[in-house]
Amino acid sequence: MIGAEGEQVGILSIQEALSMAREKELDLVEVAREADPPVCRIVDYGKHKYMLKKKQQETRGRHSQSQLKEVKFRIKIGEHDFNFKVRNIRRFIEDGDKVKVLVFFRGREIIRSDVGSGILKRILEDVKEIATVDQEPKFEGKMMWMMLSPSSRRPRTVENDNSSGGEDAKNQESPGGGQALQKERPGQDPA
């Protein structure tokens, strides 16, 4: 048994250990069931559970887990919707996640499988610099799908975000070091 301050108490019977825990108004918790004899500790059980939960969250945070994201397309998709979904695919891949791209067919659209494979090829062409194909396009039931994964495990950097014309880029381009310049209006003195 381990005491409330972490000291070794020794081998005790269950009744003796419980009475020691009651005297200190704490709980008797079994911490190593597999040991011979089993190891118990006198602790505040609520605090013990809280610390275990915190430790689990800490270890979970250290591991970078990639998720599987799904993006669904139809063969009658508009240009704006297509571009919007491809942007999402790019964002998922840049975040390190795998992406399952699905093209659904309804009714008689199933005979237009060439259009579905064209959509998948177009998507692959748009993301080829950041993604690799894990699973080649497959036809299953009323859908066609392929699996994409990041080609490199590098996370997005701040430089990539600013190159797209963010606030910093706008401030760098403004004349006069970020100060507003007044234009002369017709009929006014430039004083």
- Asked whether residue 84 is assigned to any structural domain, the reply reads yes
- pLDDT per residue over 3-24, tens digit each? 888 888 888 888 888 898 899 8
The tokens for 146 are 């392929």
Collapsing DSSP to helix, strand or coil, 180 comes out as coil
Instruction: Tell me the whole-structure pTM to 2 decimals.
Output: 0.49
Question: What is the domain count for the chain?
Answer: 2
- Asked whether residue 55 is assigned to any structural domain, the reply reads yes
- Asked whether residue 46 is assigned to any structural domain, the reply reads yes
Distance CA 136, CA 124 (A): 11
**Residues 100 and 120 both lie in one domain:** yes
Average pLDDT score over residue span 115-122: 93
The CATH number of the domain where 81 resides is what?
3.30.110.10
**Residues 72 and 102 both lie in one domain:** yes
The tokens for 75 are 């063969």
Residue 161 has pLDDT above 50, yes or no: no
Structural domain boundaries enclosing 21: 14-62
**Residues 53 and 35 both lie in one domain:** yes
- Asked whether residue 164 is assigned to any structural domain, the reply reads no
Collapsing DSSP to helix, strand or coil, 147 comes out as strand
When comparing pLDDT for 26 and 176, which is higher? Answer: 26
Residue 108 has pLDDT above 60, yes or no: yes
CA torsion 148-150-151-153 (nearest 10°) is -160
Please state, as a whole number, how many other Cβ atoms lie within 10 Å of the Cβ of residue 171.
10
**Residues 40 and 92 both lie in one domain:** no
Q: Whole-number mean pLDDT of the chain?
A: 81
**Residues 83 and 145 both lie in one domain:** yes
Phi and psi at residue 187, in whole multiples of 5°?
95, 5
Residue 144 has pLDDT above 70, yes or no: yes
Residue 75 has pLDDT above 50, yes or no: yes
pLDDT of residue 12: 86
pLDDT of residue 129: 93
